[in-house]
Amino acid sequence: MNLSIFSPKKDQCGLCTSHPFGQISDEEYKLHIDKKNNARDEKIKDKCSAAGNQCHVITMDVESVKLSPILKASALYYKTKLVVHNFTLYNLNTREATCYWWDETEGELVASTFATCVVDFISRKFQDNLPIIIYSDGCTNQNRNAMMANALLQVSVSKKITVFQKFLEKGHTQMECDSVHSAIESELKNKTIHVPSDYIKMCQNARNKQPYETIYLSHNFFKDFSVRKNQAYPSIRSGSKAGDPCVTDLRALEYDPSGKIFYKLKHGDHEWNELPAKPIRSSDATNYPLYTERLQITARKFKDLQELKSVIPIEHHMYYDSIPHK
């Protein structure tokens, strides 16, 4: 009957796949595996603490880029489409997940957009004094940067709670929030998307028993955490001279309600060290809006979207007409 067991596709770590071919040394490979195992052990330990109501643990990541529209019409094949993003935060203890959606006219993929979503999630979801532990990959543009650090420090000071930010090893960043993206991908199979807001319904239907909280964002939602005069810490580098550890060497950050940031270069029972860059101002600064208006798309993309209106229901034409463009 030509039947076989299905093998799921899984991205493999580039460093791990290079080792069998002699591209990296055994020592470098062993160090990489040790870092991966330490990060995994740390996450398992924190997950057990969350189950015992000793802390809150969340994982976060951005889903692969989505497009609008998505149709079976052949007219779409050679046309550029609108880009849509989904940033997901997942509570390991309650299994609650929140998906923040926006399209490229409402916001970019910059540190302040992700920081705004994280601050909003923590502010709305956690009302007790338990520590909050956030797990993510180590992407410097998204998670491991001064903008995100100052945003979390503001939350820590304002809510008087300790916030921890921990990073998994590159190439081994599988997390519980990935299950949300997988469920959404399954729901999107053989479905049509006419406008970006259609993703909201798909996301809500992706899990029946405990539907995901789905929020579609506009440009006026995002705050700007990149303004230097509002940052308590202009840098989160753990060293101050050439040869010292840099930002990518950080494995964990602790945001203390006193307004200080501490760091670790290794997971486990190692001591926390205060960042050498002392806070230069208080962490309760007012954050300005990141955008004052919707962002423009290119003239070519607007032209392509206008031509695609011939295969899109007429009730959605006004949306594509209203898109700002160059």
Q: Is residue 259 part of a domain?
A: yes
Contacts of 233 (CB under 8 A, 6+ apart): 146, 149, 150, 153, 261, 275, 277, 279, 280
Tally of domains within the chain = 1
Q: What is the pLDDT of residue 8?
A: 67
pLDDT in tens, 20-39: 888 889 999 999 999 999 99
Classify residue 8: in a domain, yes or no: no
Residue 286 lies in a domain: yes
Average pLDDT, the chain: 92
Q: Is 76 a member of any domain?
A: no
In the predicted structure, residue 13 carries a pLDDT above the cut 90: no
pLDDT tens digits, one per residue of 272-285: 999 988 777 666 66
Domain limits for position 188: 27-66+83-234+241-294
Is 118 contained in some domain?
yes
H runs (alpha helix) in the chain: 14-18, 26-51, 111-125, 146-159, 177-188, 198-205, 299-307, 317-321
Q: Is 123 within a domain?
A: yes
Inform me whether the pLDDT recorded for 240 exceeds 80: no
- Give yes or no for residue 294 having a pLDDT over 80: yes
Please tell me what DSSP assigns to residue 197: T
- Model pLDDT, residue 270: 80
Lowest mean pLDDT among 61-75, 133-147, 225-239: 225-239
Place of tokens 């959606």: 101
| DSSP three-state, residue 68 | strand
What pLDDT, on a 0 to 100 scale, did the predictor assign at position 119?
96
pLDDT-based confidence at 10, cuts 50/70/90?
low
CATH code: domain of residue 157:
3.30.420.10
**239 compared with 298, residue with greater pLDDT:** 298
Q: Compute the distance between CA of residue 144 and CA of residue 232 in angstroms, rounded to an integer.
A: 16
Does 166 reside within a domain? yes
Long-range Cβ contacts of 76-82 (<8 Å, 24+ apart): 76/308, 76/311, 79/304, 79/305, 79/307, 79/308, 80/298, 80/300, 80/301, 80/304, 80/305, 81/301, 81/304, 81/305, 81/308, 82/196, 82/297, 82/301, 82/305, 82/323
Residue 3 in any domain: the answer is no
The whole-number pLDDT of residue 230 equals 84
pLDDT in tens, 112-143: 999 999 999 999 999 999 999 999 999 999 99
pLDDT value of position 284: 62
